[in-house]
Amino acid sequence: MRSTGGATQRSPHSLGRRSVLAGIGAGAAAVLAGCARGDSTAVQPGTTSLANDNATWDQGYVAAGRELKKLTGYALRPLSNPNPTSYRQVTQISLQTTKATDMIKWASGYFLKSLARTGELSDLSSIWDAYERKGWVTSPARDAMSYRGSVYGIPLYESYYVLFYNKAVFRKHGLRAPGTWEELLHNAEVLKKAGVVPFVATQTGNWPAYEWFQELVSKVDPAFYTKLISGKASYTDEQAKQALQIWQDFMRKGWMTAADFDQNNGPAALKSGRVGMFLHGSWQSQGIAATGMKPGVDFDAFVMPPVDSSTPRSVITESGVLAVPRKAVSHEAAMANAANWLNPKVQKVWTDFLQDSSANPLSRPGNPVIAGLKDRALREHWTLLPRYGESGPPNLIQGNTDDLGSFMTGASSPDATLRSMAGRATKEWAAWERDES
């Protein structure tokens, strides 16, 4: 306290305070300037930045980027934001600035359409047409990538919804991958009797609640599923009721995991034989392999057979999307990379990393499980159906997924659930159409 005594001593003290304040001010200004400059998206020669929401894929992007560089002269520089909700918000905002990333990872279907209608994405139609001429994309995939006739996204990968199973567990109980609905039920019964929970089903994390819905509705009637997701059929129709009754029956028989099962524990539960079959996207193959199980040797996968054997076979697919913001910092480079992403050389490296399937039908996945399924789907002309999560206005999907979560805990009956979903569908489709006009 003495230092505050005399005038001579006070002056260095106040100088100290001033310099501290000045220092803080300068620091804050530097930080703000740093933020404003947006260093991370600035031009870096020979690369294109790629914003995405999954940091565990960074290595894959870098490896695929090396292949791209040979073709276009530009590598990929992944910028990850590991929280999907925050990623969505940040990306939507940054697209309006002059510092937009060169490429973004996005969801297909209505998520892409919502973003495309803001006018902030580049039209990739000519790139798509070139791909189609080379046979590197299939034309049915176009719809989920386009808005008002123009293409705004290039498929990042193409996953199938499959049921993974532990081969040793199946062998032990004398089971094989079911070819018919009856065989699937038989497998479930045998596993249940042996103390294994037959199916993974959960609403933890919200979105997994629609996995069984899309699967069962499409296996009851794939044509009805197509109509339902385009707003041309009602959730209260007979096929949807049948699907939810099957689901409820499975739950009552104790064939499904508790509704708060953590899917992250799915691979470990499959390995230890606590669960029999794990319904999930084929990208999960990477996670199961990470437990030390070898694809094709220790675990395998099958696509759920249709409920009625006369119903055509179908598989639910999911594609992430690469899009190019209109204000991309290195726009030309980003367009070049988008035009070469589906090149089989790039896809080989990428799918080997991902252990999943490419959207390019000519690119064969390195993972034997997925390669086998893809071959069969192409050979037998299975109907490829888009995933429920991207197949409607985002608000509709969000609300209906909540309803399904409620159904999974027994809080609402099949009829009440479907009525609520139907009511929301009417409202949200009308809102979407109104916004379109």
Partner 1 sequence: MSSSVDQRRPSLPGPHTPPGTDPAGSEPVRRFPRRVRDKVAGAGFLAPAVLLVGALLLVPFATTVYRSFFDDRRVSGFAGFDNYTLFLNDPVLTRSIQNTLMWVVGTVVLPLVLGLAIAVLTDGARWSRAARMVVVLPYALSGSAVAVVWNFILNTDGAANQALKAFGLDSFARGWLLEWPGNTLVMILANTWQSAGVAVILFLVGLQTIPRETIEAASLDGAAGWRQFWYVVLPQLRTVSVIVVGTSLVNGLKSFDLIWVLTQGGPGRQSETLAVSMYQETFLALHPGAGAAVAVVLTAIVLIASWLYLRRQLTPKGD
Residues at the interface with partner 1 (CB under 8 A): 1-2, 4-7, 10, 85, 89, 117, 203, 205-206, 209, 258-262, 394-395, 398-399, 402-403, 405-412, 431, 434-435
Least distance in Å: CB of 346 to partner 1? 34
Nearer to partner 1, 5 or 195 (CB): 5
Structure tokens at 154: 């290039």
Nearer to partner 1, 1 or 33 (CB): 1
Least distance in Å: CB of 12 to partner 1? 15
DSSP letter for 174, please: T
Nearest to 317 by CA among 372, 267, 363, 382: 382
DSSP letter for 145, please: G
* C-alpha span between 94 and 327 (Å, rounded): 10
* C-alpha span between 198 and 275 (Å, rounded): 6
Least distance in Å: CB of 159 to partner 1? 23
Residue 106, SS3 per DSSP: strand
DSSP letter for 165, please: E
Nearer to partner 1, 213 or 407 (CB): 407
Nearer to partner 1, 4 or 139 (CB): 4
Nearer to partner 1, 159 or 202 (CB): 202
* C-alpha span between 368 and 15 (Å, rounded): 72
Q: Map 148-207 to HEC letters.
A: CCEECCEECCCEEEEEEEEHHHHHHCCCCCCCCHHHHHHHHHHHHHCCCEEEECCCCCCH
* C-alpha span between 6 and 28 (Å, rounded): 33
Least distance in Å: CB of 32 to partner 1? 13
* C-alpha span between 356 and 153 (Å, rounded): 19
Least distance in Å: CB of 174 to partner 1? 27
Contacts of 128 (CB under 8 A, 6+ apart): 137, 142, 145, 151, 154
* C-alpha span between 318 and 363 (Å, rounded): 17
Least distance in Å: CB of 123 to partner 1? 20
Least distance in Å: CB of 69 to partner 1? 37
Nearer to partner 1, 12 or 205 (CB): 205
* C-alpha span between 97 and 291 (Å, rounded): 42
Nearer to partner 1, 20 or 297 (CB): 20
Least distance in Å: CB of 28 to partner 1? 12
- Say which amino acid occupies 286: Q
Nearer to partner 1, 1 or 139 (CB): 1
* C-alpha span between 213 and 210 (Å, rounded): 5
